[in-house]
Amino acid sequence: MTEGIGAAQFPRAELRRASDRETERQHLRAELDRLWARGRDVLGCDLAIMGGAMTWVSERNLVAAISNAGGFGVIASGSMSPQLLSAEIDATTALTRRPFGVNLITLHPQLLELIEVCAEHRVGHVVLAGGLPSSAAVRAIKRSGARVLCFAPSLGFARKLVRMGADAIVIEGSEAGGHIGPVSTGVLAQEILPHLTEVPVFVAGGIGRGEAILAYLEMGASGVQLGTRFVCAHESIAHPRFKQAFIRAAARDAVASVQLDPRFPVIPVRALANAATERFVAMQRRIIDRCARGELSQGEAQLEIEHFWAGALRRSVIDGDIEGGSLMAGQSVGFVTREQSTAEIIEELVSQALAVLAAREVMQQRQLVSREILPGSPAPADV
């Protein structure tokens, strides 16, 4: 009879424990939501996790998947024409009813036309990258009713962008993939987060786990941006060989491009080292020698160096040429260990952040109990 009662009670006890766990998770989630409330509000999504705009990778499928999972997908327009961008926005809208944004390069010769395309499609958020945008570009976006997000490499630059009308700022450290600046994410966060409070600030570069997301939120960030972490999502159209290169790579494999001579500047790009990166160094050496012998002018030499990587990203991402193409990747590539769905990646990041909050609560409860017990505890014996 006792066994029968115990068997009947077991499911109820298990249900209570499950209910308690769910209540605790909701409590922790409320705390996380409080930390990134400004980011969620400016983006209009559940989780203040922006998808980094990666050329050839951040297209309709991945962008929609990020937004559908509660984050904020961003189309990488790169060198798209207005017609191509219009088609891409239409295709993304067909895959998600959630908010998403469009990343535009400020140096694009048709920038104002691209902004007009975004306005025609009622895109709610435009991210400007690649340099200081013109006042005309910012005004055109604002007139359409969209919010403007801009990248800032320093505090002074960020403040200027806010004065121009930026609704949010993204700070990206040198750990990021693709084109990078000289300052690490951690240093940028310390430089900017305590002092720029007028608008939400999103932190990017080298973020691959939820613990890091929480740390930056508690420093004052309103959200984060991740790119590399999503490359191997099932929804990513990146070539299987490109994805395998990411899965095999460690953080130290994602290196910045090498510049041999300051007279011939190289735009710093972080990518996985491969045969092409070795050829690039050898090519620079040959070009510099030819210039020294008078066979090339400095301008001609510079142009040849700059043209080396033309089309290289498409060759690797789309065609799978992982030795001859460019494998742009951030140092967080070391956290990419397998293919996962976008929803699973985002859930994993959120769970990791919640686990830190949960462990902290346990520690605080133990400290409370210790303080209650210690006053009545016997004094330690003299030694």
- Please determine, for residue 374, whether its predicted confidence score (pLDDT) is greater than 90: no
**Full set of structural domains in the chain with CATH:** 38-238+340-359 (3.20.20.70), 250-328 (no CATH)
> What is the pTM assigned to this prediction?
0.90
Inter-residue contact 272 to 327 (CB < 8 Å): yes
Q: Measuring CA to CA, which residue among 246, 241, 269, 274 is closest to residue 334?
A: 246
Question: How does pLDDT run across 306-340, given as a tens digit for each residue?
Answer: 889 989 999 999 999 999 999 999 999 999 999 99
Question: How does pLDDT run across 186-221, given as a tens digit for each residue?
Answer: 999 999 999 999 999 999 999 999 999 999 999 999
Give mean pLDDT, residues 111-137: 97
3-state secondary structure of 226: strand
- pLDDT-based confidence at residue 5 (cuts at 50, 70, 90): low
Considering just the CA atoms, what is the radius of gyration of the chain in Å? Answer: 25
Tokens matching residue 134: 């013109």
Higher pLDDT residue, 372 or 348? 348
* DSSP-H helix ranges across the chain: 2-35, 37-43, 60-68, 82-93, 111-120, 135-143, 155-164, 185-192, 210-219, 240-248, 275-292, 298-307, 312-317, 342-373
Give the angle 266-272-275 at the CA atoms, nearest 5°. Answer: 80
d(CA 84, CA 315): 19
For residue 73, the cross-strand partners are 100
**Cα separation of the two ends of the chain:** 56
- Please determine, for residue 67, whether its predicted confidence score (pLDDT) is greater than 60: yes
Give mean pLDDT, residues 49-57: 97
Q: What are phi and psi of 226, to 5 degrees?
A: -125, 135
d(CA 77, CA 359): 41
Residues above pLDDT 90, as percent of the chain: 86
- pLDDT-based confidence at residue 13 (cuts at 50, 70, 90): low
Residue 21 confidence (pLDDT): 72
Residue 383 confidence (pLDDT): 39
298 burial type by CB count under 10 A (0-12 exposed, 13-18 middle, 19+ buried):
exposed
CB atoms within 10 A of CB 347: 16
Residue 18 confidence (pLDDT): 61
Q: Which residue has the tokens 């509660």?
A: 70
Q: Spell out the residues 6+ positions from residue 289 whose beta carbon is closer than 8 angstroms to its own.
A: none
d(CA 284, CA 59): 33
